């Protein structure tokens, strides 16, 4: 029996963000002002979203198993501290780039940002994989899937709409068609219509036309069957 993965959708979105940002950095000419600004803005977004995601896990997931699994929670909270330190290192390099004047300096600091980002990405990919293995197993011991879905709903409700829109954009880019249609159907059935319509609009913007057509057809078919 497959159990509910409370990290599944958000981690897929965050991985998509990491992958696309790594590619963006590889393609960036840091002596080109527009390209550099775009890359730096993206890296700042990554550091911000991962910090906020870690805080959410600490306060709304880890705390639910802290009494039963204290040493496990402590170990993962320490990894979040390491993750924050890696993010701060990135932020420091972003600041250094802003103060770079010569093309040589911009090139050197840009290379340092790219290298630092690779370390950040590798750490987080490994960390998220461990959460989906180890933390999920602990959650499954103590909670039913219905209870875990309830945790997800509380988490979503706690995130400000503007920030949720950013997470949702990257989740659209990272999820499969089936996962997206399941997400949209759940929102359609349980949230105000304007929330559903905004997600449909986002899906239309983010998905390849062929994928978007498949998602629309599946949702329409589901509505007809209902």
From 48, 10, 39, 15, select the one nearest 121 (Cα to Cα).
15
User: Residue 157 — pLDDT band, cuts 50, 70, 90?
Assistant: very high
Quick: pLDDT tens for 114-136. Answer: 999 999 999 999 999 999 999 99
Residue at a domain's end among 159, 193, 211:
159
pLDDT at residue 191, as a whole number: 86
Token digits of residue 116:
């630092």
- The number of distinct structural domains making up the chain is 2
Residues 139 and 208 in one domain: no
Same domain, 151 and 89: yes
Residue 222 has pLDDT above 70, yes or no: no
Picking from 100, 130, 159, the residue at the C-terminal end of a domain is 159
In a domain, 205, yes or no: yes
pLDDT higher than 70, residue 223: no
The better pLDDT of the pair 176, 192 is held by 176
Percent of the chain with pLDDT over 90: 92
pLDDT of residue 34: 97
Taking the C-alpha atoms of residue 152 and residue 25, their distance in angstroms, rounded to an integer, is 32
Per-residue b or e along 51-62, where b marks 16 or more CB atoms closer than 10 Å to that residue's CB: bebbeebeeebb
What confidence tens digit (pLDDT) does each residue in 31-66 have?
A: 999 999 999 999 999 999 999 999 999 999 999 999
Average model confidence (pLDDT) for the chain? 95
Tell me, yes or no, whether 42 and 110 share the same domain: yes
Does residue 32 belong to any structural domain of this protein?
Answer: yes
Is residue 144 assigned to a domain? Answer: yes
d(CA 147, CA 141): 12
% of the chain surpassing 70 pLDDT = 97
Output the CA–CA distances (angstroms, integers) from residue 8 to 15, 123, 127, 223, in the order listed: 11, 18, 13, 25
Structure tokens at 48: 């911000």
Taking alpha carbons only, the member of 41, 124, 112, 56 closest to residue 85 is: 124
Predicted pLDDT at 226: 45
Calculate mean pLDDT across residues 158-165: 93
Give the range of the structural domain holding residue 217, as residue numbers without chain letter: 176-226
CB-CB neighbours of 219 under 10 Å: 18
Report, as an integer, the average pLDDT of 142-167.
95
The CATH number of whichever domain residue 132 belongs to comes to 1.20.120.520
> 159, 184, 218 — which closes off a domain?
159
User: pLDDT per residue over 188-203, tens digit each?
Assistant: 888 889 999 999 999 9
pLDDT at 190: 85
Q: Find out whether 143 and 180 touch, Cβ atoms under 8 Å.
A: no
**Are residues 49 and 147 both part of a single domain?**
yes
Helix axes 103-130 and 70-98, enclosed angle (nearest 10): 170
pTM of the model: 0.94
- The verdict on 208 and 127 lying in the same domain is no
Neighbour-count burial of 156, counting CB atoms closer than 10 A to its CB (0-12 exposed, 13-18 middle, 19+ buried): middle
Closest CA to 163 of 48, 84, 86, 32: 48
């Amino acid at each position: 029996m497959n159990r509910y993965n409370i990290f599944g959708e958000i981690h897929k979105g965050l991985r998509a963000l990491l992958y696309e940002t790594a590619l963006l950095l590889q393609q960036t000419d840091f002596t080109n002002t527009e390209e550099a600004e775009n890359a730096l803005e993206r890296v700042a977004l990554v550091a911000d979203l991962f910090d906020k995601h870690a805080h959410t896990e600490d306060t709304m997931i880890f705390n639910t198993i802290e009494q039963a699994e204290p040493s496990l929670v402590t170990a993962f909270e320490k990894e979040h501290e390491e993750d924050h330190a890696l993010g701060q290192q990135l932020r420091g390099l972003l600041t250094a780039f802003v103060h770079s004047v010569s093309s040589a300096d911009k090139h050197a600091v840009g290379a340092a940002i790219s290298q630092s980002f690779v370390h950040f990405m590798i750490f987080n990919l490994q960390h998220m994989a461990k959460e989906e293995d180890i933390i999920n197993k602990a959650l499954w011991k103590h909670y039913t899937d219905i209870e875990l879905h309830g945790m997800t709903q509380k988490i979503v409700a706690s995130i400000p709409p503007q920030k949720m829109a950013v997470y949702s954009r990257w989740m659209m880019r990272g999820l499969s068609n089936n996962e997206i249609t399941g997400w949209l159907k759940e929102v359609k059935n349980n949230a105000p219509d304007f929330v559903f319509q905004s997600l449909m609009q986002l899906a239309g913007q983010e998905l390849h036309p062929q994928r978007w057509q498949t998602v629309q057809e599946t949702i329409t078919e589901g509505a007809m069957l209902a």
